[in-house]
Structure 1
Amino acid sequence: MTSDSPEQLTLLRDTVRKSRTKEPAPITTTLPVARIAVDVSLPHLDRPFDYLVPDDLAATAQPGARVKVRFAGKDLDGFVLERLETSDHDGKLVRLRRVVSGERVLTPEIADLCRAVADRYAGVFADVTRLAVPPRHAKVEGEPLCCDQPPRPPASTSRSEWSPYPTGFLDAVERGEAPRAVWTAVPGADWPLAFAQAAAACAASGRGALLLAPDARDLERLAGACRAVLGETGFVTLSADLGPTARYRAFLSALHGRARVVIGTRAAAFAPVADLGLVAMWDDGDESYAEPRAPYPHAREVLLLRAFRQNCAALLGGYARSAEAAALVESGFAHELIADRKVIRAAAPSVHIAGESDIDLKRDPSARAARLPHRAFEIAREGLRSGPVLVQVPRAGYLPSLVCQTCRAPSRCATCGGTLRRTGGAGPASCSVCGRPAADHRCPECGDTRMRAAIVGARRTAEELGRAFPGVVVRTSGGDNVLDVVPDAPALIVSTPGAEPVAEGGYAAGLLLDTWLLLSRPDLRAAEEAVRRWFNAAALVRAGAPVILVGDPSALPLQAIVRWSPEGYALREIEERRTARLAPAAKLAELTGPPESVNDLITRLRELIPPSAGLEVLGPVDVDDETARAVVRTPRTHGATLVRSLKEAQSARTTKKNPGTVRVQVDPPSFG
């Protein structure tokens, strides 16, 4: 047996190595450059990058497709934005690694919208695309999908819910025009049906519609109305509550045009609707529309950007009116869609404030101080004769906050300092933070061991009403137990704000308790939010039926409900914000992070923004030992300069790898 020579072994190794090494595919000759949006959240890298397209990927690496690219030594995700003949990059281009999916999930319109949203909120394109395009599910992409063109609804679809308002808006939508309106619905209006009818008018012109509702309950009502007007296959529901797989399936259905109408919650604001003709949103002041992830866009602003950039109609509806919606009317961007005053008065309930007249005070001297004055009991008793009665309580729970019986000092846990509370009628108080019982609690101010309620929750209120009205059904709605609909039968429905169920035929009466609690929240939007909650609750009460607010009769927010003037209160709110230089009258940005990082960002802003822009810095103030917060603002006319400078300052910090991350939120929905 003879052994191979060293030369033969070397030749053998080279032959094996060559057989294992696959020759790379040549670069395609047709549009060989792909411009990629790489999934990188660093502000200084917020731009597309060019890559070469191998011939074997040329067919699938189309605009909108998901790809993998080599970036900074790592394999990262990205989207193809466009294919080009040449690149303006002077250096050597790298190849695409692979095409993850041939589905073109990022359409040109949505890519343009993502760029606009990122610029509007001083954010990064990659962060916005994570909000716009749901994660991929390969199994869903392999499912058969009906892509037939949906039929147009008949142009003669009923417009019954729009009869109290001027008809010009829907007529313009059906003609293919792009009107913009702020709609103040009359009390008791069936807004889901009105939205479905507006979508049908848009679909009749051959265009698509996008309708948003604030939460899952309202979305279910909207789906029911769309089912009745458009049919089972006439719309697609897109919501984060569907779950990842179902959401991606609904997303692909919308992308492929299975239906002309898409409905959803905040997650649907970026839905890829073909030939978009109408965007509509109900109750735009609801806090659920504010995105909690960077760059923190508000769904209202996303829809308005879509309306402007895609030249489609826009509709903001609600029983109340936000300051932002009122500003749109004031600026001329949108017109007002409101019923005649006589129609509103005929549809509205009869609203009163406890203790507002001398007659009330003579009958009940404690009417302004009592939590449940005598008149409220009379209204509830009378209403129970003909149907359900709504009782709105601002706080959930039993007794969520306790104070000393003698000196009224807040009762706090001796271990962690948390607020003491009661979760039921029996047992000792416990800490709301650590949960420890406080059986031996003693007030550190006066030494008293007795405690009383500072705030009464919905469960305790239901218990008290059950004793006051023996034999009457008492139901609660709030927290993990939210009711959707209640029958037209005598019952007391105790609800927290936003959890009020719809009553069949409307409520026979309404009690809005502890109004001071909503107004005293440490937030500059507290009054506006309270008014929105009260209008939404009172609108569920039958026309002419009594509604009583328990609070200060001189408070302007309560007076707005009595006069049923949401538009008037919104205008007053704008004037106050203009005086205080708050949004939407001014451009604001909240900066939160380590104190030295916040100060560094502010210093850079001062260098970038000219004095003529009127930059004003409030703070920084310490949030805790490691975090500070500051607010920067300019007049609205210089808002673009502020946002652009924030982006440049953040880019400079990340380029130099400065320590500490600063959270930037433009026009925060809550500001306290």
Structure 2
Amino acid sequence: MTARSVARVLIDSPLPQLDRLFDYEIPREFLEDARPGVRVKVPLRSAGRVVDGYIVEHGDTDDSDRPLSELDCVVSPIPVLTPELYALARRAADRAAGSASDILRLAIPKRMVRAERAWLASDVPTLPTVDSASLGWAADVMAPFPRLGSAIQDGERMAIDAPPRLSRLVGGAHDGEDVGGWAALLAAAAIHTLARGKSAVIVVPDHRDRAQIEAALAGRVPEYALVRHDAAQSSPARYGAFLRTLADAPCIVLGNRSSVYSPVSSLGLIALWDDGDSLLSEPLSPGVHARDAALLRQEIESGALMFAGHTRTTDVERLIAVGWVREIAPAKRITPKVVLSATREGESRGARVPSAAFAAARQALSDKPVLVQVSRPGYAPVLVCAECRHPARCPHCSGPLHAARQGAVPACSWCGRSAMSWTCPDCTSTRFRMASSGSERTADDLGRAFPGVRVIVSDGEHLVTHVDSRPALVVATRGAEPIAAGGYGAVILLDGDKMLLADDLRIAESCLRWWSNAAALAAPGAPVHLVGVAGPVARALATWTQPAYARNELNERAPLRMPPVVRVAALEGDRRAVDAAIAALREAVPTLDELAILGPLPHDQTVRALVRFDYASGAKVTESLRASVVSQAMKSRKPPKGRPTRPGNTLRVRVDVPDLEL
């Protein structure tokens, strides 16, 4: 019998039972193009249709008589799936009890034919060079961290507390523009890496962060060496950027969470900014956080790994405690001037802005803008009954009512309907009261308190990225604070006590991050007033000891077995499927104690259970959970004609959930 060439193909399918390699015969006409990494279409006999896939590797030449289907076609001759990317997708999926194809769906953009043809017709990128002026600028920016350059060259894993100040760019395409000191530091580290002939991947939460680093890099590296990667790009632009990362010439990739998978050549550095931001947590299955993907990739491809932020997450602090990540401290510590501001004797206890913060704002407004951070956008995000203080809810959908402006008819935040004739179900009152002040109402109040001063609102609906150095009151929601030229003359952090009331294990950690990021926008020596907050989290901000706060959080969570001291997996589905998965897990991992599994408890129309497990047993736990998902999926296959319909696959697994919420 004639020997056959065999391709091992990963099928692009959400079905968990198809998450393995399938053997297909390569027809003679496809032998030249059917290389590992290319897109193909293959027949799926069980479904009676043709599906997409990737050739992962060539199998052994087969001269047996076993039946093998043939490749239907080679979609594109470009090998978009590199061996390193497949290895990363496989490891990330196994760690999260998910499918490798789900990871690759995030990593490899949809094929755009015109972008692909343009790329094939273009010149091959050459090795980028960095001029001496750019290298000198990078060296100056990295100078406060004497060990940083050697740590990058040695491929270390490191955690860095970014300088809490603005940095004015000198030279380059954005000469004289202010960016965060952290953005200049990450840009300098990327330039240092590119100058050594290595690629750098910088992962940031959103477009505002990306714009700052892009400004720091503009004019300092060749344009073709800077690859932008984010969801706001058009599909052709995103696919073209992905194709650029496949070239042999090194580059700097700058983008959001999925850019951590960019298949660059000669990886020298992966840098994550603000890994505590929820935007770096992938909502799509299997939900691998960019931080975890970066750690796995660094193990596979070596290179340096940098976690940078104004605060330290407990996840990174745990890695430092076990010796997996090394802390690199600056030669000289820089701290903002933080004031814990409270109401003084004789002031109203309900005063939203204490006299000390008010006086600091008035003084700063003589020549600089002032930043006021609030917790929520809108005018009055929360309304209550004026008589009994019962929350005002929509009579149609029970959603919360809010007011768009003073005197406006309240509207529902969920369905958008107006509540023209609302009546309190508890006391039958028809009058509302504003229980909270959003960004717009705060702007109105401060505008009356400071007549003649500009008032700028920055939130989800009114996004402002930069303000000039003229006096102004800038009212911004957390995370939407614009950069002021030269820094703010004062920063006032309001609603901190309300932020801390959120039902979230990590809310104090998140609040410290929001406040620290805002404090870093102040001008040198400018006061930062934290209003109405006391306790450990307030002291950590005032003393600028965020790493110590993270260590204390870890120590407090350890006896309670709370994440990230342990890993947590969530199981959700019908009672029978969840019980079967738990039984199989106890059999596969007998070391799990009685308190390792919480639930199952009713959750909507299903049940939900949580599994707490140590990092050492993670592989066995995720393997067992994945097997249960596949087993349940096999039961949901379409039955033969004439047989009763089997129940659908209702078992869903999410690993590394951040909280123990049942």
TM-score, normalization: structure 2?
0.91
Specify every segment of 5 or more residues in structure 1 that has no aligned partner in the other structure, as ranges.
1-25
- Kept in 1: contact 2:129–2:222 (CA 8 A): no
CA distance in structure 2 between the aligned counterparts of 1:161 and 1:628, rounded to whole angstroms: 53
Give the match for residue 599 of structure 1. Answer: 579
Q: 1:469 to 1:87 in 2, by over 3 A?
A: farther
CA distance in structure 2 between the aligned counterparts of 1:545 and 1:561, rounded to whole angstroms: 15
Moved more, 576-585 or 135-144: 576-585
CA distance in structure 1 between the aligned counterparts of 2:390 and 2:654, rounded to whole angstroms: 36
Moved more, 266-275 or 630-639: 630-639
- Kept in 2: contact 1:393–1:494 (CA 8 A): yes
CA distance in structure 2 between the aligned counterparts of 1:35 and 1:573, rounded to whole angstroms: 47
- Kept in 1: contact 2:629–2:652 (CA 8 A): no
Tell me, yes or no, if structure 1 residue 79 matches structure 2 residue 66.
no
Alignment of 1:332-343 (within 5 A): 332-340=323-331, 343=332
Q: 1:396 to 1:595 in 2, by over 3 A?
A: farther
- Kept in 2: contact 1:485–1:503 (CA 8 A): yes
Tell me, yes or no, if structure 1 residue 647 matches structure 2 residue 630.
no
Tell me, yes or no, if structure 1 residue 170 matches structure 2 residue 170.
no
- Per-residue deviation, 1:504: 0.9
Counterpart among 574, 590, 609 of residue 570 in structure 2: 590
Tell me, yes or no, if structure 1 residue 507 matches structure 2 residue 478.
no
- Per-residue deviation, 1:435: 2.9
Structure 1 counterpart SS, 2:219: helix
Specify every segment of 5 or more residues in structure 2 that has no aligned partner in the other structure, as ranges.
167-180, 637-646
Give the match for residue 324 of structure 1. Answer: 315
- Kept in 2: contact 1:418–1:433 (CA 8 A): yes
Give the match for residue 299 of structure 1. Answer: 290
Alignment of 1:539-554 (within 5 A): 539-553=520-534
Moved more, 144-153 or 218-227: 144-153
Counterpart among 141, 151, 155 of residue 116 in structure 2: 141
Structure 2 counterpart SS, 1:321: coil
Q: 1:87 to 1:525 in 2, by over 3 A?
A: farther
Give the match for residue 62 of structure 1. Answer: 35
**Cα-Cα RMSD:** 2.1
Alignment of 1:633-672 (within 5 A): 633-657=612-636, 659-669=648-658, 672=661
- Per-residue deviation, 1:439: 3.6
- Per-residue deviation, 1:670: 5.5
Counterpart among 26, 43, 57 of residue 16 in structure 2: 43
- Per-residue deviation, 1:584: 1.6
CA distance in structure 1 between the aligned counterparts of 2:101 and 2:481, rounded to whole angstroms: 38
- Kept in 1: contact 2:465–2:482 (CA 8 A): yes
Counterpart among 377, 389, 393 of residue 396 in structure 1: 377
- Kept in 2: contact 1:118–1:124 (CA 8 A): yes
- Per-residue deviation, 1:461: 0.6
- Per-residue deviation, 1:227: 1.6
- Per-residue deviation, 1:632: 1.1
Give the match for residue 7 of structure 1. Answer: none
- Kept in 2: contact 1:181–1:315 (CA 8 A): yes
Letter in 2 for 1:238: H
Structure 2 counterpart SS, 1:241: coil
Letter in 2 for 1:665: R
- Per-residue deviation, 1:99: 0.3
CA distance in structure 1 between the aligned counterparts of 2:606 and 2:126, rounded to whole angstroms: 54
Give the match for residue 176 of structure 2. Answer: none
Give the match for residue 18 of structure 1. Answer: none
- Kept in 2: contact 1:594–1:662 (CA 8 A): yes
Letter in 1 for 2:340: I
Tell me, yes or no, if structure 1 residue 484 matches structure 2 residue 451.
no
CA distance in structure 2 between the aligned counterparts of 1:611 and 1:668, rounded to whole angstroms: 21
Moved more, 329-338 or 429-438: 429-438
Once the two structures are superposed, residues 568-612 of structure 1 have per-residue CA deviations (whole angstroms, 9 ceiling, x without a partner) of 111112122222212221011112334443333333323332145
Structure 2 counterpart SS, 1:44: helix
- Kept in 2: contact 1:613–1:638 (CA 8 A): no
Counterpart among 530, 537, 555 of residue 557 in structure 1: 537
- Per-residue deviation, 1:289: 0.7
CA distance in structure 1 between the aligned counterparts of 2:386 and 2:286, rounded to whole angstroms: 46
Counterpart among 339, 345, 349 of residue 336 in structure 2: 349
- Per-residue deviation, 1:457: 0.6
Q: 1:278 to 1:378 in 2, by over 3 A?
A: same
Structure 1 counterpart SS, 2:79: coil
Once the two structures are superposed, residues 95-124 of structure 1 have per-residue CA deviations (whole angstroms, 9 ceiling, x without a partner) of 111100011000011011000110111001
Give the match for residue 174 of structure 2. Answer: none
Give the match for residue 242 of structure 1. Answer: 233
Tell me, yes or no, if structure 1 residue 578 matches structure 2 residue 578.
no
- Kept in 2: contact 1:594–1:660 (CA 8 A): no
CA distance in structure 2 between the aligned counterparts of 1:611 and 1:250, rounded to whole angstroms: 47
Give the match for residue 361 of structure 1. Answer: 344
- Per-residue deviation, 1:615: 6.6
Tell me, yes or no, if structure 1 residue 426 matches structure 2 residue 415.
no
Letter in 1 for 2:36: P
CA distance in structure 2 between the aligned counterparts of 1:90 and 1:188, rounded to whole angstroms: 70
Letter in 2 for 1:230: V
Give the match for residue 210 of structure 2. Answer: 219
Give the match for residue 121 of structure 1. Answer: 96
CA distance in structure 1 between the aligned counterparts of 2:270 and 2:102, rounded to whole angstroms: 23
TM-score, normalization: structure 1?
0.90
CA distance in structure 2 between the aligned counterparts of 1:601 and 1:615, rounded to whole angstroms: 16
Give the match for residue 9 of structure 1. Answer: none
Give the match for residue 175 of structure 2. Answer: none
- Per-residue deviation, 1:221: 1.3
CA distance in structure 2 between the aligned counterparts of 1:663 and 1:97, rounded to whole angstroms: 33
Structure 2 counterpart SS, 1:632: strand
CA distance in structure 1 between the aligned counterparts of 2:599 and 2:36, rounded to whole angstroms: 45
Structure 1 counterpart SS, 2:194: helix
CA distance in structure 1 between the aligned counterparts of 2:656 and 2:553, rounded to whole angstroms: 16
CA distance in structure 2 between the aligned counterparts of 1:349 and 1:247, rounded to whole angstroms: 39
CA distance in structure 2 between the aligned counterparts of 1:115 and 1:35, rounded to whole angstroms: 15
Structure 1 counterpart SS, 2:223: coil
Structure 1 counterpart SS, 2:344: helix
Letter in 2 for 1:49: F
Q: 1:379 to 1:87 in 2, by over 3 A?
A: farther
Once the two structures are superposed, residues 160-189 of structure 1 have per-residue CA deviations (whole angstroms, 9 ceiling, x without a partner) of 222222x22312434xx2111101012115
CA distance in structure 1 between the aligned counterparts of 2:100 and 2:220, rounded to whole angstroms: 37
Moved more, 241-250 or 650-659: 650-659
Tell me, yes or no, if structure 1 residue 228 matches structure 2 residue 219.
yes
- Per-residue deviation, 1:194: 1.3
Give the match for residue 83 of structure 2. Answer: 108
- Kept in 1: contact 2:159–2:327 (CA 8 A): yes
CA distance in structure 2 between the aligned counterparts of 1:411 and 1:34, rounded to whole angstroms: 62
Q: 1:395 to 1:138 in 2, by over 3 A?
A: same
Once the two structures are superposed, residues 492-542 of structure 1 have per-residue CA deviations (whole angstroms, 9 ceiling, x without a partner) of 110011111111111110111111222111211111111111110111112
CA distance in structure 2 between the aligned counterparts of 1:378 and 1:623, rounded to whole angstroms: 50
Alignment of 1:204-283 (within 5 A): 204-257=195-248, 259-283=250-274
Letter in 1 for 2:209: D
Give the match for residue 192 of structure 1. Answer: 183
CA distance in structure 2 between the aligned counterparts of 1:192 and 1:313, rounded to whole angstroms: 18
Q: 1:66 to 1:656 in 2, by over 3 A?
A: same
Give the match for residue 3 of structure 1. Answer: none
Tell me, yes or no, if structure 1 residue 33 matches structure 2 residue 6.
yes
CA distance in structure 2 between the aligned counterparts of 1:241 and 1:259, rounded to whole angstroms: 24
Moved more, 242-251 or 142-151: 142-151
CA distance in structure 2 between the aligned counterparts of 1:595 and 1:512, rounded to whole angstroms: 46
Moved more, 67-76 or 609-618: 609-618
Structure 1 counterpart SS, 2:417: coil
CA distance in structure 2 between the aligned counterparts of 1:249 and 1:52, rounded to whole angstroms: 31
Moved more, 281-290 or 192-201: 192-201
CA distance in structure 1 between the aligned counterparts of 2:151 and 2:6, rounded to whole angstroms: 43
Counterpart among 160, 178, 182 of residue 183 in structure 1: 160
Q: 1:246 to 1:82 in 2, by over 3 A?
A: same
- Per-residue deviation, 1:33: 0.9
Letter in 2 for 1:153: V
Q: 1:199 to 1:427 in 2, by over 3 A?
A: closer
CA distance in structure 1 between the aligned counterparts of 2:217 and 2:595, rounded to whole angstroms: 47
Letter in 1 for 2:93: A
